[in-house]
Chain A
Amino acid sequence: MVTIRNKKLRKVLLASAAIIIAGSALLYLAVARNNKAPLNDQAQLITEDGQEVNLDPPTDEEKDEANKHKEEIVNRDEQIKNPPSSSQTNPATVVITEATGVLVRAYVTGVFEEGGTCTATATQGSQVKTKSSSGFQNVSYTQCAPMEWDTPLGGGPWTIKVIYKSATAEAFQSKVIEV
């Protein structure tokens, strides 16, 4: 055992040793925390695309969210089966997703049907251009097939309006674009 005569030096050395030990302990904890060791000591699953798959059971957050979502699904299903007497008669809404000098793309929420007609008009002063297309079902809404202008629009501001009309619904949306 080496004896260190200088009292001050001994204290400094002791302090340094303590800090190093504490620091290593903290470092170890930090590393251990960030290493997400699987719970329940399960085997890892690496699938054929080389990626690791999460085999933990659902977290409480995931379970809460899923339970709420299920309630919503069930309530919505019930509401659809028994619509309240004051339900809207015309729930359709047109959404324009793209409007340029070349074409217009749009869809209609609130209806899910084939056979409707989408008509886009472009107005600038006295100039009016028109193009129609058919609506068709897409998963949960009605998609308008793209409406491509017969000739591209000239420069300047244009008011674009898309009207959807079918046997059961009618709706429109407008926006102003700059070509």
Chain B
Amino acid sequence: MARYIKFYLSVATISLLSALVFSPPASALSGSDWQAGRIIDDAIFFNPNTMNPGDIQTFLNTKVPVCDTNGTKIYSGSMTRAEYGTSRGNPPPYTCLKDYSQAIPAKSPDAYCGGSVSAGSKSAAQIIYDVAQACGVSAKAMIVLLQKEQSLVTDDWPWNIQYRSATGYGCPDTAPCDAEYYGFFNQVYNAARQFQRYAKQPNLYNFGGGRTSFVQYNPNAGCGGTDVSMQNQATAGLYNYTPYQPNVSALNNLYGSGDSCGAYGNRNFWRMYIDWFGSPNSNIPWAWLYEGQWAYSNSARTQTFTSVPTVVPGGKIYVRVKARNMGTQTWDQSFFHLAASRPMDSVGIFADSTWVSNSRAAKMLENTISPGGIATFEFALQAPNAAGTYSEYYNLVAEGRSWLNDLGLFFTVNVNTAISPSNSTNTTLGSGGILNKDDYLLSPDSQTVLTLQKDGNLTLNSNFKSVWSTGPLAGASRVVMQPDGNLVLYSLNNVPLWNSETSGNPGSQVVLQTDGNMVIYNSSNTPVWASYTIHRPDHLSYINTTLGVGRLYPGQSIETADRRFRLILQPDGNLVLYSPTRPTWATGTDGKQVSFLAMQPDGNLVLYDKSTRPLWHSSTSGRGSLRMIMQPDGNLVLYNNANLPFWHTSTSGVL
């Protein structure tokens, strides 16, 4: 009996062992794993931080353990690689990718690659890393692209063409590659950049995330194809790059060829990525990529802040944020918000009445955004009441589901109360005051002018140049400093065209200051609005000796530094040049309704009345831009950019 037991046990053991030896390992890739619409996920493909240069070099080293630099291995029969390569125009030595280096030019950021690349002699590993960083594309994806296009990663005797056309960029099937894109760096950079072009202009190309489109199996249209529903932008980008999908025969032989209708580019990208780097699926349901942020001083969001937004206490700035959906879930306006973070759920320091709640700044503008799409958030920030610099962090949250990855998005606002009130009455527009067209306010030192121009533009000029304006508003008729505290520009029909958004401050007035600033002070002398056009924060008195292209208003002058000689546009309408003792020249326009003196871009110096009729001019139009200088010798001269004089008052030496 025992004998039989031993026998049967042995047979069982041997068969089971054999079965194990010859069975495939547990997690082998098969053609049935392929999903045409989801080759690789956005969060993986567009992640610039997947490998540092050392990791890339280590990886490249393992894929070519020994480089056949001299082509000593046998190609076929008794012919060596060196002999074969030479016969086809590619003699040794052969440089493998792990040893390749190249002098590369610098690249500045552009609309697609937002980072820069520094010039220098760099290894292939460094180039791949630098491009990944600059263009926001995964280094792993670029490595797979190089292998898919030119087998460059594993080749132990690469030929010149494989470097020259390393990513197939600019390489049509039946014509030479475009020489403009030759070379390893050009190829890698332009390929990465192209994937960002696809992502940023998805409607221009065949395939885009969330769209269903027809994809052929092969360049031969007779092989047919199918509609493919692109699950994300990265996948769509791969098809835009190589517009073919593998057919059944290609999927049945993952490491080889199928039938004559097989095409292997995208299949190979997918297979190689998995073999070398693991899953191409992020399986992260909620994730985003920063696409931009903007800050504006007006709710229409037309006037941007060009540096750190600065406001009066309690003032508002209007912001916009754009975010790209990098997860696998669709964002829905009903539950998707931009919220104050660090810490999460905190009450926003900039919370204002338009926020969704005191910790949730805004909901998405769009109804839904699928993976790969870009969402927009618009909201206002209300500054605190105390002077200082404030910052707040924001992050995306899918309510009841998850917070998203924290990318450190923040806004900074300066609150500035370092404005000292002026105490001269003719520099203010008091509560209830009105400025009509061509009326103007002057700062105490006459250097800054607020005027409502004929074209409806309410402008602030400092040093004869426009430093702030509402922009020309057709039909604008008058500016009112209303009793409710709001400064409003009205049309002839009383339609408000522009306002300072300061109602709720009864008794406020507009003040022009010596520092160049235009400020609205409330009845407690607290500033509630300012143009922030501070040019001389030290309140230094300023002497102008030159008028370049710009305007002189009644009451303004240009003079020599020692103040001995002075040209003044007098409030009586006369434009007069004074020596230390007497007037030496004048236009004789006293008594006329003078509006302003213009040094025009055409070279003409013109004195206009309130109907925009020229009262006097220097007859120098057509000279190009000139500038007027009050010279220490008493002469008033117009010079061009080459310092040639074209007009003067002939008062040199006249005292």
Contacts and interface: CB of A to CB of B under 8 A. Distances in A.
Interface stretch (A70-78, A115-123, A124-132, A149-157): A70-78
B167 to A, nearest CB: 9
A145 B155 CA distance: 38
Interface string A91-123: 101011110000001110111100000000000
Nearest to A144: B206
B287 interface: no
Contacts of B6: 18
Interface residues of A, number: 65
B429 to A, nearest CB: 51
A141 B154 contact: no
Contact of B25 (A36, A80, A107): A36
Contact of B172 (A48, A58, A140): A140
B278 A51 contact: yes
A53 to B, nearest CB: 6
A70 B90 CA distance: 13
A97 B1 contact: no
A17 to B, nearest CB: 10
A95 B204 contact: no
A64 B155 CA distance: 11
Contacts of B12: 22
B186 interface: no
B255 A65 contact: yes
Interface string B272-304: 000111110000000000000000000000000
Interface in B14-33: 16-17, 20, 25-27
B25 A48 contact: no
Q: How large is the interface on B (under 10, 10 to 19, 20 to 34, 35 or more residues)?
A: 35 or more
Contacts of B176: 80-81
A45 B63 CA distance: 14
Given A74-B159, A138-B240, A107 B62 contact: no
B465 interface: no
A86 interface: no
A176 interface: no
Contacts of B169: 139
Q: Which of B5, B27, B243 has the most CB of A within 10 A?
A: B243
B221 A93 contact: yes
B503 interface: no
Nearest to B51: A47
A52 interface: yes
Given A26-B16, A53-B277, A109 B219 contact: yes
B25 A57 contact: no
Contact of A33 (B25, B65, B168): B25
Contact of B52 (A48, A96, A105, A107): A48
B9 A15 contact: yes
A41 interface: no
A107 B20 contact: no
A102 to B, nearest CB: 11
B162 to A, nearest CB: 7
Given A18-B9, A48-B50, A49-B49, A26 B17 contact: yes
Nearest to B159: A74
Nearest to B169: A139
B151 A66 contact: yes
B525 interface: no
Given A30-B20, A139-B194, A112 B175 contact: yes
B555 to A, nearest CB: 57
Given A29-B20, A112-B172, 20 more contacts: A11-B2, A18-B6, A48-B49, A53-B278, A57-B63, A61-B255, A65-B151, A65-B256, A65-B268, A66-B147, A70-B151, A78-B88, A80-B175, A95-B216, A95-B243, A97-B214, A106-B206, A110-B219, A139-B242, A140-B171
Interface of A: 11, 14-15, 18-19, 22, 25-26, 29-30, 33-34, 36, 42, 45, 47-49, 51-58, 61-70, 73-74, 76-78, 80-81, 91, 93, 95-98, 105-107, 109-112, 137-141, 143, 145-146, 173
Interface of B: 1-2, 5-6, 9, 12-13, 16-17, 20, 25-27, 47, 49-52, 55, 58-59, 62-63, 65, 88, 140, 147, 150-151, 154-155, 159, 161-162, 168-176, 178, 191, 194, 203-207, 211-216, 219, 221, 240-243, 255-257, 268, 275-279
